[in-house]
Amino acid sequence: MLGDSGKAQAVFQTTLHEAVRRAAREGLPNRRFWLFRDARWRCLEASETDLQAEPLEMEEREITVEAASQIQRLEPIQLAIWISAAPEPQRTALAFFYLDEFDYTEIIDLAELKLSELSRLLAVSRRQFQAWLDATFPDRPSV
């Protein structure tokens, strides 16, 4: 989410340290995913101090049947870099979606979004990702 492993490790350590202190003082919250939410907010705070990319219009293309084979050609780091470059809250939605560990209800809760917002973010992102895949792999495999 931060695009920098050093910052991510610092946020992780700070989040866990604060969770231990909180547990000792008042106990842990009953709210589901509170630790993820806390870590997300710390990441957002850390990223606000960095230089921010100017918003830009990204090309979008309809998802093609070749998308799955294009994705298979990617290195995992390429997907991570693409997601980390997305603006918030799109970045959070994509990260939780592609982790494939959370259902939509959990993603909505974690990212603090409405279902319609999540749906729109994922739909736009998938079309933008398809345009990026087409540019990255212009030689479409023959079907």
pLDDT of residue 142: 47
Tell me how far CA of residue 44 lies from CA of 38, 41, 53, 82, in angstroms.
10, 5, 14, 17
pLDDT of residue 117: 92
Question: pLDDT per position in the chain (143 positions), as tens?
Answer: 556 677 777 777 777 778 778 778 888 778 777 777 787 777 777 776 654 555 567 788 998 898 888 888 988 888 888 888 888 888 888 888 888 888 999 888 888 889 999 999 999 999 999 999 998 888 755 44
Cα gap 94→2, rounded to integer Å: 13
By the 8 A CB rule, do 40 and 113 touch?
no
Structural domain boundaries of the chain?
A: 1-52, 59-143
pLDDT of residue 116: 93
Q: Say what the pTM is.
A: 0.59
